[in-house]
Structure 1
Amino acid sequence: MTLNLFDQFMSPTYLGIPLIAIALTLPSILILTPTSRHQNNRLMSLQSWFIKTFTQQLLTPLNQGGHKWAMILASLMMFILTLNIMGLLPYTFTPTTQLSLNMGLAVPLWLATVIIGLRNQPTAALGHLLPEGTPALLIPILIVIETISLFIRPLALGVRLTANLTAGHLLIQLISTATITLAPTMTTVAMLTATLLVLLTLLEVAVAIIQAYVFVLLLSLYLQENV
């Protein structure tokens, strides 16, 4: 019996081995690897079509310099998407509900976009901290505000992903517990909550896909400002 609703988000260990380390290796196993065959199977063709379509849509607003990030962004999208979807299966652990993991992904990638901007176009990168035509009295205040907003970006990336997945998992657990509790005494109400649980599970699948896309999309927008 779960003593605390947040126990499901603790990083479990088995025989001293953290299961989050095993969960992080599964996407590399589940994602298909292209072969030298002239004709791929259906799953491989579907995966290739998805990656190609996603990469084209993501890189269309970027100039030629940003296209070097195509492999990183596509791999990150597949990695987070696989972890999110696998976390909806029974008796599984969702690594992306851990803020430490999400921040570990967000901070280095965000910092890489900032460093690229400072290296390639330092004037334009620093110019984002002060909009053109700002009155002299507001210059110090705006610089402080824009600097804070710049450093909040990786925090927003990590917290957004963590909060959305955590809230969804909590709702599923609460409604499933209510369904099991009401089943012996109030069958009609239990059927309604079970229907709501199915609809919520479908919504969580959509949230898992959307949040992976939003995470990578925001990174591409940060990259667009610095290339």
Structure 2
Amino acid sequence: MILNLFDQFNPSVYLGVPLIMIALTFPWILYPSPSNRWLNNRLLTVQSWLIKRFSHQLLLPINTPGHKWALILASLMIFLITLNMLGLLPYTFTPTTQLSLNMAFAGPLWLATVIIGMRNQPTAALGHLLPEGTPILLIPVLIIIETISLFIRPLALGVRLTANITAGHLLMQLIATATLALLPMSAVAAFLTVILLFLLTLLEIAVAMIQAYVFVLLLSLYLQENV
């Protein structure tokens, strides 16, 4: 039973093609590209408005040099939301359940924010490692703790996204299995579990969007500290 539950997170291969590659490239097919016409259709208008509102809210507290990241952060937000939402469909694979993929997003972007801080304002970037007014005896300890917390940030980003998406999929799988097991014994109990599964699905839709937003929001906060 345990192996069957976790088999859904194994990257499968069909006809020699890894399904994770299809899952990663499929989101870009869903979104229409802007046209050269003076007036766009309704879908493009709504899509552009949502991206502008998101970019405005995300970059509002960040200094002007950090606004160059608007395209990267907005694209990452849309990509993660689409991957998480598509993973809720039946017979699909969710790439964000793989820690290696999430670390591939979190690691380079976090490192880029650190390099920007060290290059443009090294004094302020290193000043985050030691709070002002620290007693002399605590300075070595606090520097070590802050340095460890700095290097844990990308790991926390990747693990947070992986754990939330994986836990939700496992819970949905368990409730669906319980529904099939209760159906021959009690129709009322099976109906109640179906209602619970429906509510959990709505919750997972919200979690899929929230976790993508939190991932990008934390990256923007790391960027804010270094620009």
Relative to the length of structure 1, the TM-score reads 0.98
Question: Residue 132 of structure 1: CA displacement?
Answer: 1.0
- Cα distance in 1 for partners of 2:47, 2:176 equals 33
Specify the alignment match of 1:132 in structure 2: 132
Specify the alignment match of 1:190 in structure 2: 190
> Superposed, which structure 2 residues align to 1:16-165 within 5 Å?
16-165=16-165
- Cα distance in 1 for partners of 2:40, 2:201 equals 32
- Cα distance in 1 for partners of 2:8, 2:111 equals 31
Q: Would you identify which runs of 4 or more consecutive aligned residues in structure 1 move more than 6 Å?
A: none
- Matched to 2:5, the amino acid is L
Specify the alignment match of 2:208 in structure 1: 208
Question: Residue 39 of structure 1: CA displacement?
Answer: 2.2
- Paired residues in the alignment total 227
Question: Residue 3 of structure 1: CA displacement?
Answer: 4.5
Specify the alignment match of 2:176 in structure 1: 176
- Mark the runs of 5 or more structure 1 residues left unpaired by the alignment: none
Question: Residue 2 of structure 1: CA displacement?
Answer: 8.4
Question: Residue 188 of structure 1: CA displacement?
Answer: 0.4
- Matched to 2:27, the amino acid is P
- Cα distance in 1 for partners of 2:31, 2:43 equals 10
Relative to the length of structure 2, the TM-score reads 0.98
- Cα distance in 2 for partners of 1:176, 1:43 equals 34
- Matched to 1:62, the amino acid is I
- Kindly tell me: are residues 37 and 2 of structure 1, through their superposed partners in 2, closer, same or farther at Cα, counting changes over 3 Å? farther
Identity over the aligned pairs, expressed in percent? 75
- Cα distance in 2 for partners of 1:146, 1:2 equals 39
* Deviations 1:194-217 (CA, angstroms, capped at 9, x unpaired): 000000000000000000000000
- Kindly tell me: are residues 58 and 41 of structure 1, through their superposed partners in 2, closer, same or farther at Cα, counting changes over 3 Å? same
RMSD in angstroms over aligned alpha carbons? Answer: 1.1
* Deviations 1:140-188 (CA, angstroms, capped at 9, x unpaired): 0000000000000000000000000000000100001111111121000
